[in-house]
Amino acid sequence: MTPASTATGGFAIGFRRGWSPWQRDLEPLVRWAHDNAFAAVDLGNDADVAGPEVIAAGGRIGSVDLPEWKGMISADPANRKAAVSKNTAYIERCAKFGALIHFAVMLPEDPGKEPGENFRFMVESFRELAPVMERVNAKLVIEGWPGPGALCCNPEGCRAFFDECPSPAMGVNYDPSHLIRMGIDPIRFLREFSGRVYHVHGKDTEIIPEAVYEFGCSLPPILAKDHGFGSTFWRYTIPGHGMTRWGEAFRILKDVGYSGLVCVELEDENFNGTEEGEKRGLLLSRDFLQGV
């Protein structure tokens, strides 16, 4: 079966392996992906073990998670050294599967520290890791999930990081959903950092105007409950159910010669929670992305 791809740019479509029971059994998951024209599956931090299973089942590996994130941004030099060593060994073990994309969120060990201090720890660690990735033709992709103390979530942080770590092995996982929830124009961000994009997440965000009026954007609600995979006024959605201008995003990526994947990351309260719902969400995402 010919793998599904986007109408603009012809980027192959995959998805990120989730945490629900049906996705834990890798062989049938890869078979389902293949039978439904998904080109690849993104893995977690067990790719050195799971990778052979994916390949044996006839699948393709998308991104893989670095096993150590917070230790790379630790105030303790020994912790940073150990994290670099652990990630180095993992990158080298995974190199036998080809030129892989390694995924990370820049979460510090101590989110209460001053961001500039954590930034310096991060730069020191990833400067050491960059030559390892260059040697095996791997890439790092940073996702800007704005978790506790997270760095490199906005243009300022990304710009500063690439100034300090200019290695071509350092890059971006373009996920417009996080930018939208922070109020950052995802298209403008992509125009600035398109040359650093080595992986794309097919995930979107809906901003709910009535909820913005009711709750604002800063205070927790008194009685209302947050949306699943969201807050009171925003929620993550499948592609096409949010605000991203996917056609324009793909045109920008095509113009800079992007040749990577677009992998659906399913986090949507309308689909997550059951095997049937999650499969339906993935298939609807695939169909939408094929049409833009």
pLDDT for the residue numbered 1: 79
Rounded to an integer, the average pLDDT of 29-54 is 96
Confidence (pLDDT) at 255: 98
Confidence of residue 86 (pLDDT cuts 50, 70, 90): very high
CATH number of 13-206+239-290: 3.20.20.150
Using a pLDDT cut of 90, give the percent of the chain over it. 98
pLDDT in tens, 223-270: 999 999 999 999 999 999 999 999 999 999 999 999 999 999 999 999
How would residue 57 be classed by pLDDT, with cut points 50, 70 and 90?
A: confident
Q: Where are the beta strands (DSSP E) in the chain?
A: 13-16, 41-43, 61-65, 101-105, 139-143, 170-174, 197-202, 204-207, 234-237, 262-264
Query: pLDDT category, 6, cuts 50, 70, 90?
Result: very high
- Residue 269 CA to residue 207 CA, distance in Å, equals 14
Confidence band for 51, pLDDT divided at 50, 70 and 90: very high
Q: Give the pLDDT mean for 217-223.
A: 94
> Can you give the pLDDT at residue 246?
98
The set of residues, in sequence order, having a beta carbon less than 8 Å from that of 264 and lying 6+ positions away, is: 13, 14, 15, 16, 201, 202, 203, 238, 239, 281, 282, 285, 286, 289
Q: pTM of the prediction? A: 0.98
What average pLDDT does this structure show over 128-152?
A: 98
Contacts of residue 75, defined as CB under 8 A and 6 or more positions apart, other chains included, come to 109, 110, 113, 117, 121
Average pLDDT, stretch 174-178?
Answer: 98
